[in-house]
Amino acid sequence: MRAVLVQHDGLAQVGVVLGAVGGYEGMRLALRPDWPLALEHAREIGGWERGAHVAWEEPLQRLLLRAPPAVEAMNAFYLTAHFVVTGLFFLWLYGRSRAGFRLFRNAFLVATAIALLVAWQFPTAPPRVAGIGLVDTLRRFSDVDIGSPGSGGLSDPVAAVPSLHAGWAFGVAAGVALYGRSTAVRSLALVYPAAVVVTILATGNHFVLDVLAGALAMAAGFGLAMLAADVRVVASRLRRGVEQPGSSPGS
């Protein structure tokens, strides 16, 4: 039995990551959406972006709406790549570096926990349902209703801040850049987060500031994961020191 577990440890570890994420999604669903507050927060963010001249969502979406097939492709990418690409990344990373896998696994889990805390304390509706001029491309082009006041239980509709789509994408890119063996692969790593950011902005699922918040959550996840790893190393060295035979009293 132990041999079987060792043989399939990689799948088990990825299962731990995705299981934890599933738990996160379940906890998000358990939160009762406060739509008035979430819409107020979304409009506040829209106002902050206009003041900072970074309200890029509507111009991007206007370009996208000129090509309906592109809209449908981005909708599909938004709904699937988040979990599929992340799962494949962790499978690949497990084969590349066990230490790297552990670090990234912990960083992703910490970032996800941070996102849950922020969503709980600062519920925010996606811009496409906030009445600020953006089209809900998921409903109009793909007949998918998530993240709207009348939607069902596919996701917590008021957890736009921070954007884990962006945060995880940056994390995946960092891992490929660090552990990829060819320059081409490492360079290609930059394409994925760029595609994710353009998609979530152009489809109206997140604000620019949501992207920045997602990047900060991911950075905090890595910082805390590395700190925890350092603490474990120090604790291990201390244990080894204690376990070593002590010197004789007279020495």
pLDDT tier, 244 (very low <50, low <70, confident <90, very high otherwise): low
- For 193-213, write each residue's pLDDT tens digit: 999 999 999 999 999 999 999
- For 16-39, write each residue's pLDDT tens digit: 766 776 776 677 667 777 889 999
Residue 43 has pLDDT above 90, yes or no: yes
pTM, two decimal places: 0.85
- For 85-119, write each residue's pLDDT tens digit: 998 999 899 989 999 999 999 999 999 899 989 98
- Which residue, 145, 123, 148, is CA-closest to 31? 123
- Determine the pLDDT at residue 29: 67
Cα–chain center distance at 140 = 25
Strand-pairing partners, residue 159, are 124
Question: Domain boundaries in the chain?
Answer: 8-231
Amino acid 133 reads G
pLDDT tier, 152 (very low <50, low <70, confident <90, very high otherwise): low
**pLDDT average, residue stretch 7-15:** 67
Q: Check residues 68 and 1 and name the one with the higher pLDDT.
A: 68
- For 127-136, write each residue's pLDDT tens digit: 999 999 999 9
CA–CA gap between residue 228 and residue 9 (Å, rounded):
22
